[in-house]
Structure 1
Amino acid sequence: MLPSRQRDERTSRPTLLEIVVPAHNEERRLPGGLLQLCAKLACLPFPTAVIVVDNSSTDRTAEIVRTWPQGPVPVRLIECPTPGKGAAVRAGLLETTAPFVGFCDADMATDLCAVEPACGLLLSGESIVIGSRAHPQADVENRHSKVRELGAFGFRALARVLVPGVSDTQCGFKFFDGGLAREMAARLRTDGFAFDVELLARCVAAGASVLEIPVTWHDVPGSRFSPARHSLSILLELVRIWLRLRAESSGALKLKQPLDPVGYP
């Protein structure tokens, strides 16, 4: 914990980094996750803040955030009635105002030791820094079934069509230039699990580059993803993203084409 004088100096300066945490019925995992996140952010040499997005929870998720003790890292709650992780992250990003923003999962499956290098890269001029479990230097503890692993392999193959060169679009650890994130979040239409693909694809289409960094990742029990229940819906989401981006690209090209002169014989 910082001394009171240092806390006052920290909170008097503008917030440089805001992190969004989407949460749906996370009363069990959220307290531990927030403790870890706030402790890590309090060690950074600049002001930070956390936004927890309650995504139509029916448990004590919202109450936990409302009563969270305020320290050197402010934690605030916003509500997102639209179901889906993508909808929650979009709502959170649009509430940010900081120069740099990010989002991570409530379970903190990605070790927060990656926060410092991600922030350093943003400060050095990178627009997008994402954690990658597929990075050669990543340390991944995976207890998933073979069926889920096969599904993840297929998903990554399809995602690479939309976001070429990115090996892991789904790691819940992503940091952005704040202006870029808010602009792309405003255009985001995918509410479900595949929202990361659309968000990154839109950033790349706007000319931004994506830098993947290795992470330490461990499987945390309680994941809401089920291959049996969600595989088909995710496949449909990817198809919709591809069709939507293709239609937008075609429309933009038509607008750029010069109009033929009218009224001449």
Structure 2
Amino acid sequence: MEVSPPDAATDHTVLEIVVPAFNEEHRLPDTLVGLRRALGELGVPCRVTVVDNASIDDTAGIVAGAPSGAVPIRLLHCAERGKGYAVRSGVLASDARYVGFCDADLATSVDDLEQVLTLLAGGADAVVGSRAHPDSVVEERHSPLRRWGAVAFRGAVRQVVRTVSETQCGYKFFRGDLARRVFEPLCCGGFAFDVEVLGRMERLGARVVEIPVNWVDVPGSRFSTVRHGWQSFFDVASIAWRLRRVEIAPALPIVGLPLPQDVTGGAAAAGLRP
């Protein structure tokens, strides 16, 4: 990696989580409570940033009216519609040592954030949740059409991202300086933006660790197989074309790590707690 590691002594926020939100007034209250609880248990300065992606409901009001607490919550606005654009806005606005994102429905459990933080502090450039990991617990209610579409999509993605088994889980964390470098030139604003992010990281030689997740298919997904499926395939082809001449730097192989039974020494052992 050519990007130098961050200097912890100059950082205030250690971990920031970006939550892209489009018309999420009903789910956000519980999501913010859950995120604050999980981040508060880390014992290091954290922050939640909700990016209102041109919502037409009271998403912004819910965030602005959230009570103050040990984990601050801030509101950003992204007028350009698209999950990728919303996440990009939040990442580029972050000055945290580590930054990541999760979905507003909290379909992926955030109970393993200490493990995520420990892996990042231990040298990983990115930690990505993978529903394809053999130790993942996945409860899904997708239609056969969407399941077959996912298989075809993973096949198309391999022309861009060669070393990550599953790119679309909305649970990814990065070294802050590297994330800002990767998200700055991001062109894909749709649901396939993860592919471009991971493709760019792979070409930088980033050290990426896949971890298992506990994931539940929460009703109300914004992704529509009919409306967004073909667009996602088109976006992957466009990403492959944009990155076709970018050489892939040598990188350590992806390591699928099971969650340890005891991570109570995580943040403290990594030297992140005061």
- Give TM class, smaller chain: 0.7 to 0.9
Aligned to 1:55, which of 37, 53, 56?
53
Q: Give the gaps of 5 or more residues in structure 2.
A: 1-10, 248-274
Q: Which amino acid aligns with 1:134?
A: A
Could you tell me how far apart the structure 2 residues matched to 1:54 and 1:61 are?
7
User: How far did 1:230 drift?
Assistant: 1.0
The 8 Å contact of residues 203 and 246 in structure 2, kept in 1 or not, is answered as no
Aligned equivalent of 2:191? 193
Q: Give the gaps of 5 or more residues in structure 1.
A: 1-12, 250-265
Q: Deviations over 1:165-217 (max 9, x none)?
A: 21110000000000000011101110100000000100111110221000000
Aligned to 1:233, which of 228, 231, 234?
231
Aligned to 2:41, which of 27, 40, 43?
43
Mapping 1:8-157, distance limit 5 Å: 14-157=12-155
Could you tell me how far apart the structure 1 residues matched to 2:158 and 2:170 are?
17
Could you tell me how far apart the structure 1 residues matched to 2:155 and 2:237 are?
13
Q: Deviations over 1:47-99 (max 9, x none)?
A: 10011000000000000011111100000000000010000000000000011
Q: Normalised by the size of structure 1, how large is the TM-score?
A: 0.88
Aligned equivalent of 1:8? none
User: Identity of counterpart residues, as a percentage?
Assistant: 52
If asked which structure has higher relative contact order (CA below 8 Å, sep 6+), I would say 2
Q: Which structure features the higher share of helix residues?
A: 1
Could you tell me how far apart the structure 2 residues matched to 1:180 and 1:205 are?
12
2:215 aligns to what SS in structure 1? strand
Q: Normalised by the size of structure 2, how large is the TM-score?
A: 0.85
1:187 aligns to what SS in structure 2? coil
2:244 aligns to what SS in structure 1? helix
Could you tell me how far apart the structure 2 residues matched to 1:160 and 1:120 are?
29
1:71 aligns to what SS in structure 2? coil
Q: Which amino acid aligns with 1:119?
A: L
Could you tell me how far apart the structure 1 residues matched to 2:97 and 2:168 are?
23
Could you tell me how far apart the structure 1 residues matched to 2:184 and 2:93 are?
11
User: How far did 1:247 drift?
Assistant: 4.7
Backbone CA RMSD of aligned residues:
1.3
Q: Which amino acid aligns with 1:236?
A: F
Could you tell me how far apart the structure 1 residues matched to 2:159 and 2:212 are?
22
User: How far did 1:225 drift?
Assistant: 0.8
Could you tell me how far apart the structure 1 residues matched to 2:22 and 2:213 are?
24
Could you tell me how far apart the structure 2 residues matched to 1:36 and 1:145 are?
28
Aligned equivalent of 1:9? none
2:205 aligns to what SS in structure 1? coil
The 8 Å contact of residues 20 and 53 in structure 2, kept in 1 or not, is answered as yes
User: How far did 1:224 drift?
Assistant: 0.9
Aligned equivalent of 2:177? 179
User: How far did 1:160 drift?
Assistant: 2.1
